[in-house]
Structure 1
């Protein structure tokens, strides 16, 4: 307390110093964004940390974003578009090492990772889990993946499974000093700032079947993968990706509903009858001929009016510039999510090849960043470590393997132009064939193995194709079969 009183006293002295106050105002006025004026009155310029902001607003943002995905088509489309492009058919692993050991491990990986054996719920394979994780991260901002060890009697290829948990399972009430370290909203750290444990509920706190207060338990950090996008230095938790665009999406949905209501009103406003007998009861529905008055319009109807009556038609309210407004706000939403407007809304009316390619390339940079800065280090690397530990248990060997993770293939916009460019880059030494193959979403070793098998089969059947790079065949040359004088492979 003595130190705090001394600091507060010094601050008071500084605030009473007129020269210091004047200098501070002068320096602040050098930046328009730092001045206090009518234009900056609405800014919330706070110095709170990322985790403090998420701790207060994260739950509300998450629940609002989930509601939007349930009820706003564009929000659902955005979630789907992010998951489909970041994961697609899967971020696929490939292993390299001693041939004998690879041949023993590879079948286990295929049987475990490429089947529902990896899923604690038994529903999907590793790549379906990846897609679900990205979809959850986009909406909730973060997701937890827990390793669950399994017993030999479970008869799994590898003795572990993955359990995906919504971030609601994190007990955020565990906060502050704990043991020999400290906790931040349910995440426990040691004195060096390393994650050592997560405090998790066994059941979702929002489960309808819960009749008792949930109890959390301490799970070592080595058993949990915490996947989120880190936007600020030192950020320990993630915020919903919809946070910057929630209000814009709501505005767009309201504008769309208002436009729909305009059409409904226009359909309801038909005709009005003015004039007639002022003393007549308006509830009297009989006309001069004793028939019911006309109360609805229909094709081919001829109606006779009383003396002095006239018909006027209502003018429904108009909403101008609806299309440009919806497009402008849609572009803001797409920009805030890191997506392309055309892809999010399926509107390619004003796109040419150049603009489409530029937007596609920028979007692919975002996708590559999400893959390489979030998914691979936060999810794929822990899965890699857990798999190798399970392999050591299964085979009784701790021999190491080199892993690589290949994201889904990137569709070419113009293969006629892009493939020659790739070929020239390889031939000029600016890139390797393996690198370019990985960019297309394939495993270079798998491609080489398939090419070798194809060549071996073609040679055994004495087939020759223009696609065979070992041969120098003229373009359009007929296939040579059964000819012993066929050109030999180049040496």
Structure 2
């Protein structure tokens, strides 16, 4: 054991000399102060969970499964969660993101008709229940609730008599086998690549395929236990990647699950509090010491003889015995309930990325300007989700499979592409917005094709239909106010167009 300084001094025959005590403040050892306050380590930041894990390290299979289970419970039992999932899916897909088959930039009516006979009917669904647009809506709800959706291409035989020999199977992300994880074995001269929670990659990081269960792992069937490798060309894994190199999606309810749980508990507590307070009506007091208290056993008997508890019903006049007095309880108030509810629901709406009014249906404090601003911001979010996630990942896969199926049945696919058009948005103020669109087109700041796309229509189809209608008007000799060739904007007959001869 190490000797103290006093023992060492005495061992040398010296007398210890006492020095005046000097107070010295010892500062804790730490690094230089961070230039960003959020990076400083101290009491205020002691609760922060700082991690250097990548997106896949944070969203482990166990975490993803727990979040999915909580989100599904919320959607089943919480009205605001159910409304949040519905409003995102309804606005993201709506009645469907439609398509047109083009060849060299022009609609190919023949291929378009074949594709519509297949995708616009339930023939494209392995379950035989939905057309393409019903599958889109189902996929959008699954993405919001479960964080991702898996769509698998199923090739079919000619004997199945389908317009095209393939069908679409939409399943939940639970089908991906997370136990397939880690590096793959290498063969001589070939690097084996790696696996990330059921997704297989080649050595350069491109997706090779997915390990999918034969059935839903929560079904409890024996055939659901094993997993099979499916090539990436036959699978569309659709999710919102919030971070680079993110290979699985998290439920969109992740930022608000605790808030929704706390808000639900608060509502239950308030309701229980009011029920208990309302059930306890009053107390009867009197001077009769030996009187029988209703509902309480007396000393005599076996305790089974009980007088019924008193109660109050509408229109009752009750007479008390001499000396008795009734004191009614005062139920607690609900002050602050409405304010807390609005604050909580606004936070939940912000976490989901939807307007408060769309989540709750509460339009009491909305005017035209605030409603328009909230709707425009929501439209930007929807457009980002459509064009950066759903159309490239879901619709793009369907388009590629459609072209391959057309080639399989012997169709020429040279120069064939598929274009997608999201559903149009209802105008907030049609009278003003239509006039603004017209002025923008006339001044060269907009085009009729772009305006048609914003309405959710394909420009080529719209113009072809318009030309057909105008030809029909001419054939029948009809002159309508909607025909700008014949009638001006103020209702006067339009002057016939004159052709100026070219100078020789």
TM-score normalised over the length of structure 2: 0.86
- Bigger drift between 428-437 and 79-88 goes to 428-437
Q: Give the counterpart of 2:103 among 81, 97, 105.
A: 97
Q: Does 1:38 align with 2:37?
A: no
Separation in structure 2 between the aligned mates of residue 312 and residue 211 of structure 1, nearest angstrom: 66
Q: In the alignment, is the contact (CA less than 8 A) between 1:294 and 1:303 conserved in 2?
A: no
Alignment of 1:138-287 (within 5 A): 138-179=144-185, 180-208=192-220, 210-211=221-222, 214-282=225-293
Please report the RMSD computed on the Cα atoms of aligned residues, expressed in angstroms: 2.3
Name the structure 1 match of 2:394: 379
Separation in structure 1 between the aligned mates of residue 428 and residue 202 of structure 2, nearest angstrom: 49
* 1:105–1:399 distance in 2 versus 1, CA, 3 Å: same
Whichever structure has more helix as a proportion of its residues is: 1
Q: Give the counterpart of 1:128 among 109, 125, 134.
A: 134
Deviation at 1:263, TM superposition (A): 2.9
1:47-85 Cα distance to aligned partner (Å, 9 max, x none): 111111111411100000000000000001011101100
Q: Does 1:456 align with 2:471?
A: yes
1:208-266 Cα distance to aligned partner (Å, 9 max, x none): 4x146700000000100010001011111100000001111111211222222233123
Deviation at 1:285, TM superposition (A): 8.1
* 1:69–1:100 distance in 2 versus 1, CA, 3 Å: closer
Q: Does 1:447 align with 2:462?
A: yes
* 1:98–1:51 distance in 2 versus 1, CA, 3 Å: closer
TM-score normalised over the length of structure 1: 0.88
Separation in structure 2 between the aligned mates of residue 357 and residue 325 of structure 1, nearest angstrom: 25
Name the structure 2 match of 1:482: none
Alignment of 1:311-390 (within 5 A): 311-390=326-405
- Give structure 2 stretches of 5+ with no counterpart: 1-27, 186-191, 298-306, 500-504
- Give structure 1 stretches of 5+ with no counterpart: 1-20, 287-291, 479-485
Paired positions, count = 457
- Bigger drift between 215-224 and 307-316 goes to 307-316
1:326-363 Cα distance to aligned partner (Å, 9 max, x none): 00110000000000001110001001111110000000
* 1:213–1:87 distance in 2 versus 1, CA, 3 Å: closer
Q: In the alignment, is the contact (CA less than 8 A) between 2:100 and 2:107 conserved in 1?
A: no
1:313-333 Cα distance to aligned partner (Å, 9 max, x none): 112233320001100110000
Q: Does 1:115 align with 2:121?
A: yes
Q: In the alignment, is the contact (CA less than 8 A) between 1:470 and 1:490 conserved in 2?
A: no
Q: In the alignment, is the contact (CA less than 8 A) between 1:189 and 1:196 conserved in 2?
A: yes
* 1:299–1:107 distance in 2 versus 1, CA, 3 Å: closer
Local SS of the residue matching 1:395: coil
Deviation at 1:36, TM superposition (A): 2.2
